[in-house]
Amino acid sequence: MLAIGGGLLFALQGGDKDDRAAPAPASAPATGPDNLPPAPAPTGTDGAPSAAASASGSPTGTPSPTATGPGPAAGTQAQALDSLLSEGENAKAPIGSAVAKVTSCPPKADIESAAQDFDNGASQRAALLAKLSQLTVTDVPGGADAVNSLKSAWQLSADIDKAYASWARAVAAQGCTGRAPATPDKKRADELNPKATQAKTDFMTKWNVIAKNYGLTPRTQDRI
């Protein structure tokens, strides 16, 4: 009986040592796709990223939103004004030679021809002024001031041409010997000439700055 009891006790002790189940391994932490460790939990109030994280994640090298420069619209507007100046230069009537012709008191037909030159000059200026009024130069730095000077120059030139035309017709009607008389219209044209010259000079100064900025044609006073 003792042997049986002892054997039973040994069996119980041996079974407890050899057959006891090994403890289950600790659960591995959950992993994300491709066995990557999960992203750390967000920090900061209410789960929002911390200020340091936000600062470190902000892009660098971003251009300043206040940086400005001439845009394509300004270049287009400057080119349109340059084209109008070229048109005015190419269509310029021979006013100077017409004045000299009338002053020399030529035959009546020549004086009337000169009067027509003055009329053509006035018409050309009127057409240029109409086109100038349709131009937009709001994006061109200094464009508005330049256009105002050009408008004044062309308007004065048109008034001068009209006065010269009236003068020429008066001379043709009354005739002359040696040198054409100076009528009130001639005197008015002579008085307006310095003002027109000054307006052209003002425009030239303003335009040449614009022309340099946009690679356009600079002008001289006699080409306006």
Question: Does residue 31 have a pLDDT over 90?
Answer: no
pLDDT digit string, tens, across residues 174-209: 999 999 999 999 999 999 999 999 999 999 999 999
Mean pLDDT of 199-220: 96
**Residue that has been written with the tokens 């080409």 in this structure:** 223
pLDDT digit string, tens, across residues 128-153: 999 999 999 999 999 999 999 999 99
pLDDT digit string, tens, across residues 67-121: 334 568 999 999 999 999 999 988 788 999 999 999 999 999 999 999 999 999 9
- Per the CB < 8 A criterion, the answer to whether 206 and 146 are in contact is yes
DSSP codes of every residue in 1-63:
-HHHHHHHHHHHHHHHHHSSPPPPPPPPPP--GGGPPPPPPP-SGGGPPPHHHHHHHS-SSPP
More confident residue, 29 or 125: 125
Q: Is the pTM of this model over 0.85?
A: no
More confident residue, 112 or 53: 112
